[in-house]
Amino acid sequence: MAERRTVMSDSVELVEVELAERSYTVSIGQGLLGRMEELLARPYWRRVAVVTDDRVGPLYGATVVSRLKGAGLETFVLEIPSGEPSKTADRAVEIVESLIDSGLTRSDAVFALGGGVVGDLAGFASSVFKRGIDLVQVPTSLLAQVDSSVGGKTAVNVPAAKNQVGTFHQPVAVICDITTLGTLPEQEFRAGLAEVAKYSVLTSRPWGRDLAGEAASLERADAPRLVRLVKECVREKAALVSADEFDHGVRHHLNYGHTLGHALEAEGGYGELYSHGEGVAIGMVFAALVSEAMGLAEPGLADRHRRLLADLALPTAPAGQVPEYGALAGRMALDKKSTGDTVMVLLESEGKPVVKRGIDSGLMEDCYARLIS
Ligand code: NAD
Ligand code: GLY
């Protein structure tokens, strides 16, 4: 699935997402924004809208615009306020209206330049604008590079729960420039590591065990190691997406830690108390506790999760304003995997995920009590 090729003098790692006529390549490397046009081959585009946020735009917008203009494309920039509160239907409609004002047609493209919020929002807008135009994901946060830019899920939030309105709209290309991680705030970098930790406990490949041993020594400045790490995660995701594009089976595994994680994010006011990554980290410990309590996993799984996450400087339990279980249970019931019952991704052990339905609510409440004790 993965190969390596040389573009000009620097190497780019490539991972193919195999989806028949919707297949695409994820390019991973250093300094890719400065030569992005080499990684794209869509001769029919005339206009491009670069959707970004007000933190990422000032840092990287000019580079992207100059490369696209240099390639002969009429280029527009649409900037949204950064952060999870921007992931709304109103904001998506604003983007669609700007695409209309900018004269884009179905033969043009949207570039999502930013973290997962920009990716999900611009992805959603591009999927409904004229019933769908080309989307290029240019993720600039670690979380977006290892996870959200790949796989075609787009979404906006509603007050009751996350990602309740969305589509599947695969990008035509994903460009992960590791160099952009140099300006990512430390807390956001850590949030991305939560998804890396998730992949590491889901996989049976050696890199997952290696991460557990080496997590504490992971240096953000170690670009070659980051390239490898992003590539390993993208390979894990690509395999599950290729096997189950529309999330009816094995793709559920990617939601490990997300059942409680999404509920914490929504209950915490979308970013005010918990970022997506922090919610996932805490949710992983909760899922491990449920796995142990159901007798699926041997005791010790939750403690190994806690050690791994602590080594990555991630939270392992809610702190400060601890939400009531009842409020979280209501939100967990809205999980998109649910068919009216409680459903969670659990682990028999590292590398052995299972999806369980109809989990006893009393057992879950007991596990939450143990999580916050
Ligand atoms: P984010 O997009 O809010 O980015 C985090 C912060 O970092 C923002 O303030 C952003 O402006 C800033 N930022 C991003 N890149 C930067 C850079 N290079 N330099 C400086 N600042 C930078 O959040 P996120 O953690 O990237 O993504 C979280 C979102 O992703 C959530 O909404 C979550 O639901 C979604 N998600 C989607 C999928 C999917 O499959 N579609 C998967 C996982 C998560
Ligand atoms: N992040 C979950 C998925 O892409 O399926």
> What is the reported pLDDT for 156?
97
Q: If you take atom 4 of ligand 1, which residue's CA is the nearest one?
A: 115
Q: Which residues pair with 79 in a beta bridge?
A: 52
Span from the CA of 71 to the centroid of ligand 2 (angstroms): 33
Q: What is the 3-state secondary structure (H, E, C) of the chain?
A: CEEEEEECCEEEEEEEECCHHHCEEEEEECCCHHHHHHHCCCCCCCEEEEEEECCHHHHHHHHHHHHHHHCCCEEEEEEECCCHHHCCHHHHHHHHHHHHHCCCCCCCEEEEEECHHHHHHHHHHHHHHHHCCEEEEEECCHHHHHHHCCCCEEEEEECCEEEEEEEECCCCEEEEEHHHHHHCCHHHHHHHHHHHHHHHHHCCCHHHHHHHHHHHHCCCCCHHHHHHHHHHHHHHHHHHHHHCCCCCCHHHHHHCCHHHHHHHHHHCCCCCCCCHHHHHHHHHHHHHHHHHHCCCCCCCHHHHHHHHHHHCCCCCCCCCCCCCHHHHHHHHCCCCCCCCCCEEEEEEECCEEEEEECCCHHHHHHHHHHHHC
- Choose the weakest-confidence range: 94-108, 289-303, 309-323: 309-323
> What is the reported pLDDT for 4?
37
Contact by Cβ (8 Å): 144, 119: yes
Mean pLDDT of 158-183: 93
Q: What's the pTM? A: 0.94
Residue type, position 5, single letter: R
How many CB atoms within 10 Å of residue 143? 27
Q: How far apart are CA 236 and CA 207, in angstroms?
A: 11
Q: Is 144 in the pocket of ligand 1 (CB under 6 A)?
A: yes
Out of 55, 176, 245, give the residue to mutate to test ligand 1, the one with the largest number of ligand atoms within 8 Å of its CB. Answer: 55
Nearest to 277 by CA among 330, 304, 316: 316
> pLDDT band at residue 104, thresholds of 50, 70 and 90?
very high
In whole angstroms, how far apart are CA 285 and each of 138, 228, 329?
31, 26, 16
Please determine, for residue 3, whether its predicted confidence score (pLDDT) is greater than 50.
Answer: no
Mean pLDDT of 99-105: 97
- Choose the weakest-confidence range: 246-260, 325-339, 357-371: 325-339
pLDDT digits (tens, 9 = 90+) for 43-101: 799 999 999 999 999 999 999 999 999 999 999 999 999 999 999 999 999 999 999 99
> What is the reported pLDDT for 335?
74
Give residues (CB < 6 A) around ligand 2: 147, 151, 153, 247, 251, 254-255
Span from the CA of 230 to the centroid of ligand 2 (angstroms): 15
Please determine, for residue 214, whether its predicted confidence score (pLDDT) is greater than 90.
Answer: no
**Encoded tokens for 317:** 């339990």
Q: Which ligand is nearest to the CA of 237?
A: 2
